[in-house]
């Protein structure tokens, strides 16, 4: 994987989009060559839902939530429930990893276009309890942080399940 650093001459939107895409590409790269059995394994005893497939599905649904529900104000059609708030991670073990990755790629392509077509100062339609709403810039920064954090989890799980280490 080629490291992507933003030259200082790039505008803010390009820098944010480039780093979000880099984090997304890193997550996908962590899945290259993993067996279907290993993609479903949860090797950490304290985290029974933390699988490679589960983490990718989680990242896909997190982007859905922040862009579709929070930013655009759409209906929340996520798989989670009050009784099972981590269901997106649970259901991924019953899905082929290729399908999970395809959904993630489809969503990230849509959201790449969404970010390109809206001003970064545009406020989310879904209001917080205090009446405030994050702007698109904050949402993109949050997704960079969220994806990068889970890339660390993917690194650890991948090394445990099949010995593959990242760079």
Q: Residue 5 falls within a domain, yes or no?
A: no
Could you tell me the CATH number of the domain that includes residue 60?
Answer: 1.20.120.450
CA-to-CA distance for 60 and 103, rounded, in angstroms? Answer: 7
Q: Which residue has the tokens 């709403």?
A: 133
Q: Residue 64 falls within a domain, yes or no?
A: yes
Q: Residue 5, exposed/middle/buried by CB under 10 A (0-12, 13-18, 19+)?
A: exposed
Q: What is the pLDDT of residue 166?
A: 75
Structural domain span for residue 68: 12-162
CA-to-CA distance for 64 and 79, rounded, in angstroms? Answer: 11
Q: Residue 2 falls within a domain, yes or no?
A: no
Q: Residue 146 falls within a domain, yes or no?
A: yes
Q: What is the pLDDT of residue 9?
A: 66
Q: What share of the chain is helix, strand, coil (3-state, %, to 5)?
A: 60, 0, 40
SS3 47: coil
Residue 116's nearest CA partner among 19, 4, 16, 27 is 16
Total number of domains constituting the chain: 1
pLDDT in tens, the chain (167 residues): 555 665 666 899 989 999 999 999 999 999 999 999 999 999 999 999 999 999 999 999 999 999 999 999 999 999 999 999 999 999 999 999 999 999 999 999 999 999 999 999 999 999 999 999 999 999 999 999 999 999 999 999 999 999 998 77
Q: What is the pLDDT of residue 2?
A: 59
Q: Residue 7 falls within a domain, yes or no?
A: no
Q: What is the pLDDT of residue 10?
A: 82
CA-to-CA distance for 145 and 35, rounded, in angstroms? Answer: 27
Q: Which residue has the tokens 């959904």?
A: 103
């Amino acid at each position: 994987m080629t490291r992507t650093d933003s030259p200082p001459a790039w505008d803010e939107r390009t820098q944010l989009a480039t780093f979000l895409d880099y984090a997304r590409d890193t997550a996908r790269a962590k899945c290259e060559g993993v067996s279907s059995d290993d993609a479903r394994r949860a090797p950490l005893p304290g985290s029974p839902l933390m699988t490679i497939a589960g983490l990718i599905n989680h990242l896909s649904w997190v982007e859905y939530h922040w862009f579709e529900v929070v930013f655009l104000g759409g209906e929340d059609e996520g798989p989670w429930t009050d009784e099972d708030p981590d269901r997106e991670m649970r259901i991924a073990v019953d899905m082929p990893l290729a399908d999970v990755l395809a959904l993630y790629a489809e969503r990230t392509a849509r959201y790449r276009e969404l970010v390109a077509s809206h001003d970064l100062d545009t406020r989310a339609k879904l209001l917080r309890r205090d009446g405030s709403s994050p702007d698109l810039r904050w949402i993109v920064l949050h997704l960079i942080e969220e994806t990068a954090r889970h890339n660390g989890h993917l690194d650890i799980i991948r090394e445990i399940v099949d010995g593959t280490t990242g760079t």
